[in-house]
Amino acid sequence: MPDRVPTPGNQPADEEELRPEDAMERAASGGIQAESALATAAALEGGPSEYQASLWKDAWRQLRKKPLFLIASSLLIVFILMALFPGLFTDQDPRACDLANSAGKPQEGHWFGFDIQGCDYFTRVVYGTRVSLIIGLLVIGVDVVIAIILGSIAGYYGGFWDGFIARIADIWFALPTVLGGIVFLNALGERGLLQVSFVLIFLQWPTLTRLMRSSVLSGKEMDYVQAARALGASDWRIMRSHILPNGIAPVIVYGTIAVGIIISAEAALSFLGVGLQLPAISWGLMISAAQNRILIHPHLLLFPALFLSILVLSFIILGDALRDALDPRLR
Amino acid sequence: MGRFIARRLLQAIPVFFGATFIVFTMVYAIPGDPIRALNGERPISASAQQALRDRYNLDDTLLVQYGKYVGGIFRGDFGETFRGRPVAEILKEKFPVTARLALGAFIFEVILGLIAGILAGLRRGSFLDNLVLVSTTVVVAIPVFVLGFVAQLVFGLQLRLLPIAGIQHGWVSYVLPSMVLGSLALVYIARLTRTSLVENLRSDYIRTAEAKGLSRPRVVGRHALRNSLIPVVTYMGVDFGTLMGGAIITEGIFNIPGIGREVFLAIQSQEGAVVVGVVTAGILIFILMNMIVDVLYAVLDPRIRLA
Amino acid sequence: MIDRLSKKSARLAPVLVLALVAASCGGEQPAEEPEAEPTGGAFSMSICEPESLIPQIGAETCGSQVMNALFTPLIEFDPLTDEVIFAVAESITSDDNVNWTVNLRDGWTFHDGTPVTAQSFVDAWNWAAFGPNGAGNNYFFGPAGTNIVGYDDLNPEKGKPDAEELAGLQVVDDLTFTVELAAPFSEFPITVGYNAFYPLPESFYDDTDAFNEAPVGNGPYMMDGSWEHDIGVNVVRYEGYPGTPGNADAIEFRIYADLDVAYRDVQAGELDIADVPDAQIESGRAEFGDRFIESASSSFTYIGLPLYQEEFQDPELRKALSMAIDRQAIISAVFFDTLTPADDMASPVVQGYREGACSYCVFDPDAAKEMFDAAGGYDGTLTIWFNNDGGHETWIEAVSNQWRQNLGVESEFESAPFADYLGRLDQGIDDDPGTEGVTGPFRLGWVMDYPSMQNYIENLHGTGAGSNYTTYSNEEFDDLLAQGKSAGSLEEAISFYQQADDLILEDMPIIPMWFGLNQSVTTERVDNVIIDKFSFVDAALVEVAAE
C-alpha cells in the first residue's frame, strides 16, 4: 500500500518517498505501527489548519470516553505507584529471605508464596515493577528524542542527509540487534540499569526515526507550510509550529507501544542471563530462575509472568487507544 | 526492472559490509581471552597459548582480522571454532533445523494470520473482529518465553498432546515451537491485513466499483484484497528473514538444536567464529529476502516499478 | 612462581625408599587372569558433545568418557576399590622418587594393528608437552602436574621453544622408558592414568585432524565409523585386546545437548544410561528404584578469599564467613540435595580425607557473629565474584543472604564469562599492585586429576601453585607437602598431607562449600553400571541383559 492515498495535489515528490523500505519498515515493525502511520498520515493530508490545532484536544475528548483507555491508564497508574512507592503495596522487605521457606506455595500472608531464596514473592514482584518501568520509559524517551532530531533532519532537508541516515538505519536494521545486544552484554562485567538501557536504545531507534521522517515528509507538503515558507518563516519555526505538533503523533503512538516492547525485551535479556544482574530485582530474572522448576513450582513462573504481561498489555492498549483517538478515519 | 534490481544490489553492498564489520568488531573487540576459556580452570602454558593465538589470527589488528575473514567468506570458509571444527560445517548442520522451524512458524502465521485478518477486516466491528483484536493484543503482550513455557506446560505436560523438547519425534516436534515462534508475527499479519483491508474497503475506488454494480465478492476478492495484501506480503518477506536468524529463545526453551541455540552457546563460550559466521549468514539471507520482497513489491505496485 | 616450589623440594635429602607403588599397591601385578566371556549385546549412553577426542587435548568429561573406552593407559583404577591396576605398564619403579623406570607389557596393540611401544608413550607425551602444539593437557607435564625435566624448554615464555622433546623422557627399548622428574614425587605412578599420558599410534602424527574424528587407540573398544558431531560416537569391541575384553559388543555414545531430554529418553526406554537433572532427583529415586545410581564424585566447590586484600588477612574473619553459611540449607533449597556439604579440604573420594575435619565448616551463626565482630567486621559492602555462565547465581545469592542475615554484612556482585573471570583472578595475584583484580570472595571449583589428596591441597594452596588464586603461602605447608611427595609409603605420605591439611583448615584461605555426587539412571536392559570417582561410567564393565 502506498504510504499515502494518492489524490490530486499530493503526488509523491520523488521516488524516495515511495521506497519499498518505508512500507516494509513500517510493516515489519508491527502492524500496529503500520496502521498508525497509514492512518495518521491519511488523516493529516489535505486537512484544514484548524483540524491540526485541535487534533490533540479532539483526541483527548475521545479518549476520555473509551473504556479500554480508562482501564489501561488506571492499570498504568497502579503500576507507576508500585514502582514509586512499593511500600504502599507490601510491608515486607524484598531482601528478607529465609532459605527454610524456599519455593513455598502461596499461603496466608504470602499470597504469591516464596521464591527459591525464601523471599516473599509478592514483595519481590512488586519491587520488580520499578526496574521494568524505568528501563521502558528511559529507553523510549531517548529513542523518541533521537527520532525527532534525526527524523526531522532526514524528512525536512532530504537529499544527502536523508540518504545517509537511511543507510545507517538500513545497516542497523540488517543487524540482528538481539544477537548484537547479547554479544555486547555478555562481555560486560557489570550489567546495571544504564548498560542494559543503552543496548535497548538501539533496538527501536530506526523504526521511530523512519516514522518521524515520513510524517515530516507529509507535513512538509502541506499547503499551509508552503504558505509559511513563502512568507519567510524560518525552518526552525516551521518545524516547531507546524510540522512537529502533528508529526509527533505517530511517534507517540508507536512509542507508547514500544515501551511495552522494551519492557518485554529487558525481561527476555534478563531471562537469557545477559540482562540485569544480581542483586537487581527484575521479572526477567525471576522467570529465568523459575524455568527449571515450572513443573514442581509453577507459581514461580506464574506471578512475574502475569505482572509482566499485564504491564506490557496496558501500554499496548494505551497506544492503540491513542492511535484510534488521533485518527478520525478509523473510528 | 533490471535497473531496479541493479540499484538494489548496489545498495545492499554497504549494508553487508557495514553490518558484518559491526558484528565482527563487537565479537572480537570485547574483553576476555577465548583461548583461556578453552582450558577452563586449568593452567595453560604461555607457549601453548601463543600457538593457538597465532592459529586464529588473534594477534592481528581488527581490520586485518576482518579482511582475512571476509576473504575467507568468499571462498566459503567461515573460519573454525577454537576446537578446530569448521564453522561452515556447523552452519550446514544446524541451519536446516532452524529452517524447518522457521518454515513451520511461517506457514502457521501466514495461514492463521491471513484468515483472521481477512475475516476481521470484512466484518468490522463484529464479535469476530473484536475477538481477533483482543486476542492478538493479549498475545503480543505476553513475552515469547512465557508463551513458550506456558505452551510446554499446557500442551506438553498437562494434556500430553505434543512433544515439548528435542527433535527426535520427527516433524511433530516442530509443531509447538513453530506455533510459539510464529505467534508474534501472526498478530502483526492479522492486524496488518485487517487494517489494510478496512482502509481499502473504504476507499474511493472500491466505492466506485460497488457503485458500478460489481458484486461484493468480486470487489473484495479482485480489488481490495490484492491491494491490501501488498504491505502484508512485504512484511512476510522481511519476517521470514528474521525467523531464519534463529529464534534463540524458542530454540532454547524447546531444545531445538538449531542455529539460534548454537549462536547463544557460542556467545557464552566466546567462540567468535561461530557467532560472526551465523550472523553473517543471517545478514546475507536478510539482504536476499529484502531484495526478493523489493522485486515482489515492484511487481505488485506499478508505481514503484515505473518511478 | 614455579621455581619456588621445586627449590624447596630439592632442598630435602632424597629419601631412599621402596617405590610408593610397591608399598601401597602390592608391587608389580601379575599378568591379567583369564577373564569371563564377554556378555555381548549393545547399549547406549548419553554424553555431551566432546571438545576433542585427542586425549592430549580433551579435558572435559564428554570426550573423556569416550576416550576411556578407546584407550588404555599405563595404569588404571579399579572403579570400586580404587586400587591401582597395572594395565599397559608392567611396573613403574623408582629408587629416589625422581628417576622412574616404566616397563611395559608385551602384546598390546593399537586398533590398527601397530604395537604399543615405549616410543608410543614418549612421542605422545612430547607432543603434548610441546607448547606450540597448543595441547590443552600440556600443563600435566609441567610444574602444575608431573613436572618432567625439560618442560620449560618446550614452553618458553616468549618465542619458539629450543627443543621438541622432553629431556626427562628417554626410550630405553621397545618396552622400557625412563622418566626424570624435576622434583621428587612419590605418587608419580598414579598420575599417569590421565588422558594426557595415553599412548598414540604413529598414524596420529600424519593427520591430527583426521585422528580427532576417528581416534585409533589401544583400548577395549575401537571406533565404528567416525565421530558424528552433535549426534554420537559408536564403538565396537576390539578383538585384539589383551586385557579384560569389554562386556558389550557395541556401545553408542549418544550426544545430547540437554540433560532433560536424555533423562526423558531413559524414562521412555530409548536410552540406556543418563545423568539425572537436579529437579528430577526426588521423582527419579522413586521411579527408578535400584536403577538409580548415586555415588561420590570428585568435584569440590569452594569460595576463595583474596588474601592479597587487607580486609581478608585476618583468619578469624575468614572463619566467621565460613561458619555463617548453612551449607545444607542451600543444598536442599537450591540443589535438591544432590550434593554433600564439604567438611574437609579434600574430597571424600581420596584417601586421607577425614570426615568433619573442617571445624569451621559447621554452621554456627552465633559463633560466627561473635568472631566476625571480634575481628572488626567488614567495612562496607562485600563484592562476591563468580562466573556468570555456570548457573551459579542462585546459590551465590543464597550465600549473600545468609551473610546478611547472620553477620549483617551486605554484598554486591561481579560476574564475567569464565575466560574473563579467570583473567580477573590472574590479575589479582599478579605481583603488579594496583591492577584491577578480584577484590572479594570468589567462587571456584576443583575436580581431581588423579586420586590423591595432594592433588586437591597442593594445587589450591601451595605457594605459587597453578590454581592458587588466594595467594596463600605458608612455608610449613609447602614443606609438609614436599615431605609427603617424597615419602616412603602411602601411609606416610598421607600423614604428611593430613598435617598440611590441618594447617589450611586452621587458616581457612578458602571456604569449602560442597562435594559433588553422581546421579544416574539406567534402563533394565543394562546391569553392572558403575560410576567411578571421576564421574565416568566404566563402559567396558556394563553388561547388557540377554533379550
C333 contacts chain B (CB < 8 A): no
pLDDT of residue A2: 29
Distance between B165 CA and the closest CA of chain C, angstroms? 7
A264 contacts chain B (CB < 8 A): yes
Using CA coordinates, name the residue in chain A closest to C331: A99
Assess contact for A203 and A184: CB atoms under 8 A: no
pLDDT above 70: residue B260 = yes
Which chains reach chain C with 3 or more Cβ–Cβ distances below 8 angstroms? A, B
Neighboring chain C residues of B80 at a CB cutoff of 8 Å: none
Distance between B205 CA and the closest CA of chain A, angstroms? 11
A296 contacts chain C (CB < 8 A): yes
Measured CA to CA, the distance from residue C539 to residue B43 in angstroms comes to 29
Neighboring chain B residues of C257 at a CB cutoff of 8 Å: 255, 257, 261
pLDDT above 70: residue A4 = no
pLDDT of residue C18: 29
Residue with cell 490545532: A53
Closest CA relative to residue B55, chosen from C134, C139, C213: C134
Mean pLDDT across chain B: 79
Q: A95–C401: do the CB atoms touch at under 8 Å?
A: yes
pLDDT of residue C433: 54
Which of A171, A175, A287 is nearest residue B145 as measured by Cβ atoms?
A287
Q: A312–B142: do the CB atoms touch at under 8 Å?
A: yes
Distance between B305 CA and the closest CA of chain A, angstroms? 10
pLDDT of residue A324: 78
Using CA coordinates, name the residue in chain A closest to C408: A96
pLDDT of residue A29: 40
Using CA coordinates, name the residue in chain A closest to B263: A179
Q: What percent of chain B has pLDDT over 70?
A: 86
Measured CA to CA, the distance from residue C343 to residue C352 in angstroms comes to 13
Q: Quick: pLDDT tens for C28-60.
A: 444 444 456 788 889 999 998 888 899 998 878
Using CA coordinates, name the residue in chain A closest to C401: A97
Neighboring chain C residues of A98 at a CB cutoff of 8 Å: 405
* One-letter amino acid of C78: D
Strand, helix or coil for residue C32? coil
Distance between B12 CA and the closest CA of chain A, angstroms? 9
Measured CA to CA, the distance from residue C265 to residue C274 in angstroms comes to 9
Neighboring chain B residues of C212 at a CB cutoff of 8 Å: 84
**Residues A9-30: what's their mean pLDDT?**
36
Closest CA relative to residue A83, chosen from A257, A233, A282: A282
Assess contact for C218 and C116: CB atoms under 8 A: yes
Which chains reach chain B with 3 or more Cβ–Cβ distances below 8 angstroms? A, C
Q: Quick: pLDDT tens for C473-507.
A: 999 999 999 999 888 888 899 999 999 999 999 99
pLDDT of residue C150: 92
Most confident range, picked from B39-43, B204-208, C14-18: B204-208
A103 contacts chain C (CB < 8 A): yes
Confidence label for C22 from pLDDT (cuts 50, 70 and 90): very low
Measured CA to CA, the distance from residue C415 to residue A185 in angstroms comes to 12
Q: Quick: pLDDT tens for B154-177.
A: 776 666 666 666 666 777 888 888
Top-confidence residue, C363 or B143: C363
Neighboring chain C residues of B55 at a CB cutoff of 8 Å: 134
Q: Quick: pLDDT tens for C214-239.
A: 999 999 999 999 998 888 999 999 99
Considering only residues 108 to 167 of chain A, which have any Cβ-Cβ distance to chain C shorter than 8 Å?
Answer: 116-118
Q: A27–B231: do the CB atoms touch at under 8 Å?
A: yes
The β-bridge relationship of strands C89-94 and C99-104 is antiparallel
* One-letter amino acid of A69: F
Q: A183–B196: do the CB atoms touch at under 8 Å?
A: no
Q: B48–C155: do the CB atoms touch at under 8 Å?
A: yes
Other C-beta atoms within 10 Å of A192: how many?
A: 12
Q: Quick: pLDDT tens for C71-124.
A: 999 999 988 877 889 999 999 999 888 999 999 999 999 999 999 999 999 999
Neighboring chain C residues of B89 at a CB cutoff of 8 Å: 229
pLDDT of residue B49: 79
Which of B31, B42, B84 is nearest residue C59 as measured by Cβ atoms?
B42
A296 contacts chain B (CB < 8 A): no
pLDDT above 70: residue C10 = no
Top-confidence residue, A222 or A75: A75
Strand, helix or coil for residue C446? strand
Distance between C132 CA and the closest CA of chain B, angstroms? 5
Which of A1, A4, A288 is the mutation pick for testing B, counting most B CBs within 10 A? A1
Most confident range, picked from C80-84, C356-360, C375-379: C356-360
Q: Which long-range contacts (CB under 8 A, 24 or more apart) does A7-10 make?
A: A7/A45, A7/A46, A9/A46, A10/A45, A10/A46, A10/A221
Distance between A238 CA and the closest CA of chain B, angstroms? 30
- The CA distances from residue C530 to C25, C262, C519, C526, C535, in Å, are 22, 19, 11, 11, 9
Which of A5, A28, A287 is nearest residue B239 as measured by Cβ atoms?
A28
Mean pLDDT across chain C: 86
pLDDT of residue A25: 42
Q: Chains A, C: CB contacts under 8 A, how many?
A: 61
Read off the pTM.
Answer: 0.80
**Residues C342-367: what's their mean pLDDT?**
93
Distance between B42 CA and the closest CA of chain C, angstroms? 7
Which of B153, B188, B249 is nearest residue A298 as measured by Cβ atoms?
B153
pLDDT of residue C30: 41
- The CA distances from residue A260 to A82, A285, B160, in Å, are 17, 17, 33
Neighboring chain B residues of A3 at a CB cutoff of 8 Å: none
pLDDT above 60: residue A50 = no
Assess contact for B101 and B177: CB atoms under 8 A: yes
pLDDT above 70: residue C167 = yes
Confidence label for C423 from pLDDT (cuts 50, 70 and 90): confident
pLDDT of residue C86: 93
pLDDT of residue B30: 65
Which of A99, A114, A195, A272 is the mutation pick for testing C, counting most C CBs within 10 A? A99
pLDDT above 60: residue B307 = no
Considering only residues 299 to 318 of chain A, which have any Cβ-Cβ distance to chain B shorter than 8 Å?
Answer: 301, 305, 308-310, 312-313, 316-317
For residue B264 the three cell numbers come to 547463544
Q: A312–B143: do the CB atoms touch at under 8 Å?
A: yes
Other C-beta atoms within 10 Å of B128: how many?
A: 14
Q: A317–B248: do the CB atoms touch at under 8 Å?
A: no
Considering only residues 67 to 106 of chain B, which have any Cβ-Cβ distance to chain A shorter than 8 Å?
Answer: none
pLDDT of residue C275: 92
Distance between B122 CA and the closest CA of chain A, angstroms? 14
A97 contacts chain B (CB < 8 A): no
Q: A32–B230: do the CB atoms touch at under 8 Å?
A: no
Q: Quick: pLDDT tens for B75-129.
A: 878 888 877 788 888 888 888 888 888 888 989 988 999 888 888 888 877 888 8
Q: C402–A99: do the CB atoms touch at under 8 Å?
A: yes
Considering only residues 163 to 192 of chain A, which have any Cβ-Cβ distance to chain B shorter than 8 Å?
Answer: 167, 170-171, 174-176, 178-180, 182-184, 186-187
Which of B28, B47, B167 is the mutation pick for testing C, counting most C CBs within 10 A? B47
Q: A102–C415: do the CB atoms touch at under 8 Å?
A: no
Distance between C365 CA and the closest CA of chain A, angstroms? 14
Assess contact for A271 and A284: CB atoms under 8 A: yes
pLDDT of residue C242: 92
Asked whether this complex has an ipTM greater than 0.95, the answer is: no
Measured CA to CA, the distance from residue A185 to residue A197 in angstroms comes to 11
Which numeric CATH code is attached to A56-330? 1.10.3720.10
pLDDT above 50: residue A40 = no
Neighboring chain A residues of B195 at a CB cutoff of 8 Å: 31, 34-35, 38-39, 330
Beta strands in chain B (DSSP E): none
